[in-house]
Amino acid sequence: MKVAGFRLYFGNVLSSWLIFGVFFVCSTGLGIAQEATPEPSPTPEPKLEFIEDDNAPVKVKTDLVTLTLTVTDYYGRYVSGLNKKAFSVMDNGVPQDITFFSDSDAPVSIGVLFDISGSMGGDKVSKARNALARFIMTSHPSDEYFLIAFNSRAQLLMDRTRDGDAVLQKLTLVKPKDNTALYDAVYLGIERVTRGAHQKRALLVISDGQDNASRYNFSEVRRLMKESDVVTYAVGILGRNDNSGAMGMQGQAFLEEIASATGGRAFFPQSDIELDEIFERIALELRHQYAVGYTPKDFEPNGKWRKVKVKVKPPRGFPRLTVRGREGYFATPNTSYR
Q: Is the pLDDT of residue 57 over 60?
A: no
- Last residue of some domain: 272, 287, 302? 287
Total count of domains within the chain: 2
For residue 317, tell me if it sits in a domain: yes
**Which value, in Å, is the radius of gyration of the alpha carbons in the chain?**
34
Question: What is the structure's pLDDT at 17?
Answer: 35
User: Tell me: the pLDDT tens digits for 103-161?
Assistant: 999 999 999 999 999 999 889 999 999 999 999 999 999 999 999 999 999 999 999 99
Res. 13 pLDDT band, cuts 50 70 90: very low
Q: Are residues 169 and 99 in the same domain?
A: no
Are 148 and 114 in contact by the 8 Å Cβ rule? The answer is yes
Q: Are residues 89 and 188 in the same domain?
A: no
Calculate what percentage of the chain has a pLDDT beyond 70: 77
Q: Are residues 195 and 236 in the same domain?
A: yes
Q: Are residues 275 and 142 in the same domain?
A: yes
Whole-angstrom Cα distance, residue 111 to residue 169?
16
Q: Are residues 199 and 329 in the same domain?
A: no
Rounded mean pLDDT of 260-266? 94
For residue 318, tell me if it sits in a domain: yes
Q: Is the pLDDT of residue 25 over 80?
A: no
Look over the chain and give the mean of its residue pLDDT values, rounded to a whole number.
82
Q: Are residues 282 and 136 in the same domain?
A: yes
Res. 239 pLDDT band, cuts 50 70 90: low
Q: Are residues 169 and 128 in the same domain?
A: yes
User: How would DSSP label each residue in 284-305?
Assistant: HHHTSEEEEEE--TT---S--E
Q: Are residues 203 and 245 in the same domain?
A: yes
Q: Are residues 269 and 194 in the same domain?
A: yes
Res. 250 pLDDT band, cuts 50 70 90: confident
The CATH number covering residue 246 comes to 3.40.50.410
For residue 139, tell me if it sits in a domain: yes
Q: Is the pLDDT of residue 11 over 90?
A: no
For residue 162, tell me if it sits in a domain: yes
Q: Is the pLDDT of residue 52 over 70?
A: no
Q: Are residues 265 and 280 in the same domain?
A: yes
Top-confidence residue, 65 or 6 = 65
For residue 147, tell me if it sits in a domain: yes
In terms of Cα–Cα distance, which of 182, 189, 176, 183 is closest to 126? 176
Domain of residue 249, residue span: 108-287
For residue 33, tell me if it sits in a domain: no
Q: Are residues 252 and 273 in the same domain?
A: yes
Calculate what percentage of the chain has a pLDDT beyond 90: 64
Q: Are residues 202 and 77 in the same domain?
A: no
Whole-angstrom Cα distance, residue 325 to residue 260?
8
Question: What is the structure's pLDDT at 240?
Answer: 57
For residue 252, tell me if it sits in a domain: yes
For residue 277, tell me if it sits in a domain: yes
This prediction's pTM: 0.79
